[in-house]
Amino acid sequence: MTGFICIITETLPAGLLPQIASGLSISNSLAGQTVTAYALGSLLAAIPLTIATQSWRRRNVLLLAIAGFFIFNSITALSSHYWLTLMARFFAGVAAGLSWSLLAGYARRMVAIHQQGKAMAIAMVGTPIALSLGLPLGTWLGGVIGWRSAFAGISALTVVLVIWVLTSVPDYPGQSRHERLPLLHVLTTKGVRPVLSVVITWMLAHNILYTYIAPFLDLAGLASQTDVILLTFGLAALLAIAVTGRLVDRHLRTCVLASLAIFTLVSVVFMTSAQVPAVIYAGVAVWGFTFGGAATLLQTALADSAGEGADLALSINVVAWNGAIAAGGLVGGILLNNWGAQVFPPVLILLLIIAFLITWRAREQGFRAGARPGH
């Protein structure tokens, strides 16, 4: 549910851009900066806040992050000033950066070692639910009851979540001073850098296409069906979560290699048949399936590699992931403006081959062969 709130808070302005622009008397491009401000908050805050709260009890940190969503989504719902709204969005992103660096490690601590991958899959299921169901529903509700009411609804959801956490979620101590590892030590731990490299290359490839999916679909005359195609993507990603939960603890390396290889093949098909609607629909479904388990697979590999530095490594992952989102928008925009959407697939193929080769070489550290340690 925390992951769901993170994603829906991040993406909802994209679905309600005209309404927000009208409500604040600004242009659509200025309204779009509310998404940028959120991503920037996550990017800048994840590592410093994770370090600052390492000694805190874990449930207190989780509640702090959730309280941040309540406060700043409420301000967004009430604000009539653009700069106040932008500031609220930035600090909502800060709450998200802290949440993402905490969730994976928290879920892993709740279960035995041999169940950690499955626990991660369950904890991460809020992301595809938010993308496939939450965003369309939130966009529709925002159109019916107003964009401010949509953000107020998210705030109400956080109140329910706070009560749920207080009554149901176990608490764990933070790390004592002698247990804490320096950031550089975590970053140079064997296996951490290969996993982060795959995060950057894989997510960059994904976000180039996902951010500019509408212009790409226009090659097949499907731009008007973008919402249906994104729903197809999201439902396939949901299915992948279930499959990943069953396989991650025993076949993590195989799953990553297979996901990258299949996404590469889909990109090859997109390169040769981008004008065929049936191919696009099928390709998007397969692409969604390869992406659905990515967060679980990559964060499990990263946490396994980092050991006691898992929380700090996962905060670096937040920076890498959000950096790839931002870079995807920038690189995709340059490609689109200069060569058109048809150039996306060859660029994706290059990035995915690099990610595949890094994974293949990291057999001993990062993406280990066989079952996870302790399984």
How open is the CA angle 65-66-68, to the nearest 5 degrees? 65
pLDDT confidence tier of residue 101, bands split at 50, 70 and 90: confident
Contacts of 178 (CB under 8 A, 6+ apart): none
What single-letter amino acid sits at 193?
R
Q: pLDDT value at position 186?
A: 82
All structural domains of the chain = 2-174 (1.20.1250.20), 183-361 (1.20.1250.20)
The predicted model gives 58-72 an average pLDDT of 95
Closest C-alpha among 304, 15, 290 to residue 150: 15
Could you tell me if 235 and 131 are in contact, meaning their C-beta atoms sit under 8 angstroms apart?
A: no
Whole-model pTM? 0.82
The 10 Å Cβ neighbour count of residue 171 is 11
How do the residues of the chain divide into helix, strand and coil, expressed in percent and rounded to 5?
Answer: 85, 0, 15
pLDDT in tens, 249-281: 889 999 999 999 999 999 999 999 989 999 999
Helix count (H) and strand count (E) of the chain? Answer: 17, 0
